[in-house]
A = this chain, B = another copy of it.
Amino acid sequence: SSLKSSGQLEPGADGTPPGYETLVVTSEDGITKITLNRPTKKNAMNTQMYHEITLALEAASKDNSSITVLTGSGDYYSSGNDLTNFTDIPSGGVEEKAKNSAILLRNFVGCFIDFPKPLIAVVNGPAVGIAVTTLGLFDAVYSTDRATFHTPFSHLGLSPEGCSSYTFPKIMSPSKAAEMLIFGKKLTAREACTQGLVTEVFPDGTFQKEVWTRLKAYAKLPANAMRISKEVIRNKEKEKLHAVNAEECSVLQERWLSDECMNAVVSFLSRKAKL
């Protein structure tokens, strides 16, 4: 049976899960599918979306699905952190904004670290920033050949998050990770697959069909065995990953207040305003 929820923020009186403003969540065939749903904004992650993904992952971890999928609606997987987040300054000023953002980011990434079932990214288009770095915490990453993978942290005066400072040097080599994370090199889907960040690349024309056929087969495997195998593989890293996440967020909290970052964001937003 299919369940589709969106548009409401509170749990329904009939016990259905809460709706979402920025997501569409469905569950059928043993698969819970979380779709980023701000297609006109390239699925950029605003504060609301960070919260809702956290809630949706928590719900998926407890529902009766076998595997969980994250994907995007429209042309993009996600363009990453919505830079207009930087313009919404609370009464406590930029320091409070930076502190709140670090807490939000840390909780968000923590949900990926702790997710107990197989977690699969269906990368339907370009991915940027936090949408790229968190891929290192997925159990499979299937990508259309149209996707690209870009983490321009240095260009924005920023530093790595999503545990990428730890997972990327392990997944790739340290120098290939540095090209992405320090020098901001953008990878094609094929390059990302060669580097191990993407598990398999599909032609865009058959992408959805091939991937969902495969995922439906996976979802029929014994669910406890999959969950326990993931636990055996991942539990060795959990403590380390949470420590990395905390450190990355702490460094970013300072970077957000740096001249390098402020200048880069102002420059970006003023270019955008002129368009």
Contacts and interface: CB of A to CB of B under 8 A. Distances in A.
Contacts of A141: 175
A232 B260 contact: no
A138 interface: yes
A158 B139 CA distance: 18
Contacts of A59: none
Contacts of A183: 118, 140, 218, 221, 226
A172 interface: yes
Contacts of A187: none
Contact of A232 (B184, B234, B247): B247
A148 interface: no
Given A139-B182, A140-B183, A229 B160 contact: yes
A24 interface: no
A178 interface: yes
Contacts of A154: 221-222, 225-226, 229
Interface string A139-155: 11100000000000111
A264 B139 CA distance: 24
Contact of A255 (B140, B168, B184, B228): B228
A251 interface: yes
A177 interface: yes
Interface in A220-244: 221-222, 224-226, 228-230, 232-234, 236, 244
Given A136-B174, A139-B175, A236-B166, A153 B225 contact: yes
Contacts of A17: none
A151 to B, nearest CB: 10
A168 B175 CA distance: 12
Contacts of A172: 173, 196
Contacts of A224: 157, 258, 260
Contact of A179 (B140, B175, B178, B182): B140
Contact of A196 (B175, B228, B247, B251): B175
Contact of A174 (B139, B165, B228): B139
A169 interface: yes
Nearest to A264: B222
Interface of A: 118, 136, 138-141, 153-160, 165-179, 181-184, 196-197, 199, 218, 221-222, 224-226, 228-230, 232-234, 236, 244, 247-248, 251, 255, 258, 260-261, 264
Cβ-closest 5 pairs across A and B: A173-B196, A222-B260, A139-B178, A171-B173, A154-B221
